[in-house]
């Protein structure tokens, strides 16, 4: 190899002065490599390639970038993956549900597939992306910047009932609390920044809060709704066997119970399908990121499940 893929950066929560300081530490890296168990020249599909942290470790084992396909819907992530492209990898700017449909239409199959769901630390850390309630920025939250609709459209234009449903369904807030938040939002409109939204929600909360900010679940809910995140996971799950070569492995890392519930159910269905099962589970129980890296806040809620195609 003549060129090295980009260096990873370290995580820093309090000081972001330029892009080179943004960090993304791949979660559960050792476990992912152990269970995907890459062999020389095997094909690899990374459906959420991000900053290429996992991909870099896989490449070190397979030694062949031209056998890698790296997908991400975020333009900034795609730019970071340029050095993989220079090495011969296929880098695709797309959402993975759409990519999967076209891969299957083209009868493409892979030895390894990785899906590391959710947002990356650099997405959260950049205030202007509007993902984080701790950083004041516009209400954006788009994973794909080509999309027109932003979080501001939902916050300012959805009816109170629809907002309540979103907060209940994707934020898993109890109905009474979701209703109170939805009402406060509609009364405070227009809301243009993450800070104002966080404060409006905070004001609906009586008493002091412990660790988690009262707006955390609503932010998650709006992000999931805006980016159709669960529909993406559902399309993935329906198509896993068609994406894998016989003996091919898939690893899925999820970060919240809504995603993991879908993945867990799919894995359980496979485990209980008897002779009709297309996959064998390599993780009988999920592997949790808690113990992985105490310095990486994302790792704390990571849930890894891995299976192999028969
Ligand atoms: C947790 S990060 C992945 C980090 C990567 N594993 C690494 O080591 O650098 C998740 C990435 O997936 C992307 N992403 C999330 N949902 C996606 C989807 N449905 N389709 C394509 N990319 C998606 C995000 O834009 C983000 O860059």
pLDDT per residue as tens digits for the range 235-278 = 999 999 999 999 999 999 999 999 999 999 999 999 999 999 99
Q: What is the pLDDT of residue 180?
A: 98
Q: What is the pLDDT of residue 203?
A: 96
Q: Alpha-carbon distance 39 to 52, whole Å?
A: 18
Q: Which atom of ligand 1 is nearest to the CA of 26?
A: 8
Q: Alpha-carbon distance 260 to 281, whole Å?
A: 15
Q: What is the pLDDT of residue 292?
A: 57
CB of 95 closer than 6 A to ligand 1?
Answer: yes
Q: Is there a shared CATH topology between the 25-122+229-309 domain and the 145-226 domain?
A: no
Helix and strand totals (H; E) in the chain: 13, 8
Q: What is the pLDDT of residue 300?
A: 84
Query: Taking Cα atoms as reference points, which of 28, 25, 23 lies closest to residue 301?
Result: 28
| Superfamily in which the 25-122+229-309 domain is placed by CATH | Vaccinia Virus protein VP39 (3.40.50.150)
CA of 227 to the centre of ligand 1 (A): 12
Could you give the C-alpha distances from 27 to 34, 66, 83, 121, 292, in angstroms and in order? Answer: 13, 24, 21, 11, 7
CA of 24 to the centre of ligand 1 (A): 11
CB of 173 closer than 6 A to ligand 1?
Answer: no
Q: What is the pLDDT of residue 210?
A: 79
CA of 93 to the centre of ligand 1 (A): 11
What residues does 250 pair with on adjacent strands?
113, 307
Sketch the domain layout of the chain as residue ranges: 25-122+229-309, 145-226
DSSP structure string for 43-70: -EEETT-TTSHHHHHHHHHH--GGGEEE
CA of 208 to the centre of ligand 1 (A): 34
CB of 38 closer than 6 A to ligand 1?
Answer: no
Q: Alpha-carbon distance 243 to 128, whole Å?
A: 35
CB of 11 closer than 6 A to ligand 1?
Answer: no
Q: What is the pLDDT of residue 112?
A: 99
Q: Best substitution site from 55, 124, 143 to test ligand 1's pocket, by max atoms within 8 Å of Cβ? A: 143
Q: Tally Cβ neighbours within 10 Å of residue 55.
A: 24
Q: Which residues of the chain have pLDDT under 50?
A: 1-22
Q: Which residue has its alpha carbon closest to ligand 1 atom 1?
A: 120
For 145-226, give the CATH class.
Answer: mainly alpha
Do the strands 287-288 and 303-309 form a parallel or antiparallel pair, or are they unpaired? antiparallel
Q: Alpha-carbon distance 8 to 53, whole Å?
A: 7
CA of 115 to the centre of ligand 1 (A): 8
Q: Best substitution site from 32, 50, 227, 239 to test ligand 1's pocket, by max atoms within 8 Å of Cβ? A: 50
CA of 203 to the centre of ligand 1 (A): 33
CA of 73 to the centre of ligand 1 (A): 7
Could you give the C-alpha distances from 290 to 57, 125, 167, 297, 304, in angstroms and in order? Answer: 21, 21, 26, 9, 11
Q: Alpha-carbon distance 109 to 4, whole Å?
A: 27
Q: Which residue has its alpha carbon closest to ligand 1 atom 13?
A: 48
CA of 95 to the centre of ligand 1 (A): 9
Q: List CB contacts of 152: < 8 A, sequence separation 6 or more.
A: 138, 139, 140, 191, 192
């Amino acid at each position: 190899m003549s060129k090295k893929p980009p260096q990873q950066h370290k995580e820093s929560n309090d000081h972001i002065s330029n892009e080179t300081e943004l960090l993304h530490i791949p979660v559960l890296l050792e476990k992912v490599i152990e269970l995907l168990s890459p062999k020389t020249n095997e094909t690899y599909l990374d459906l959420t390639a991000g900053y290429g942290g996992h991909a870099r470790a896989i490449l070190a084992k397979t030694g062949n970038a031209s056998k890698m396909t790296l997908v991400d819907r975020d333009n900034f992530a795609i730019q970071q993956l340029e050095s993989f492209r220079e090495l011969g990898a296929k880098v695709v700017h797309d959402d993975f549900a759409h990519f999967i449909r076209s891969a299957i239409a083209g009868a493409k199959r892979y030895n390894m597939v990785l899906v590391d769901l959710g947002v990356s630390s650099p997405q959260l850390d950049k205030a202007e992306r509007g993902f984080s309630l701790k950083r004041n920025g516009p209400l954006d939250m788009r994973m794909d910047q080509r999309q027109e609709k932003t979080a501001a459209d939902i916050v300012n234009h959805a009816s109170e009932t629809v907002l309540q449903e979103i907060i209940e369904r994707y934020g898993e807030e109890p109905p009474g609390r979701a209703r109170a938040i939805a009402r406060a939002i509609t009364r405070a409109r227009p809301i243009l920044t993450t800070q104002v939204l966080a404060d409006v929600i905070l004001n609906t909360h009586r008493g002091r809060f412990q660790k988690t900010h009262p707006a955390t679940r609503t932010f998650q809910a709006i992000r999931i709704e805006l980016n159709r995140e669960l529909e993406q996971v559902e399309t993935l799950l329906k198509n896993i066997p068609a994406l894998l070569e016989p003996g091919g492995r898939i690893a899925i890392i999820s970060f919240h119970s809504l995603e993991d519930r879908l993945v867990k159910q799919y894995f359980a269905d496979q485990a209980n399908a008897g002779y009709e099962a297309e996959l064998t589970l390599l993780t009988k129980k999920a592997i949790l990121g808690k113990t992985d890296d105490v310095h990486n806040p994302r790792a704390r809620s990571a849930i890894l499940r891995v299976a192999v195609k028969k």
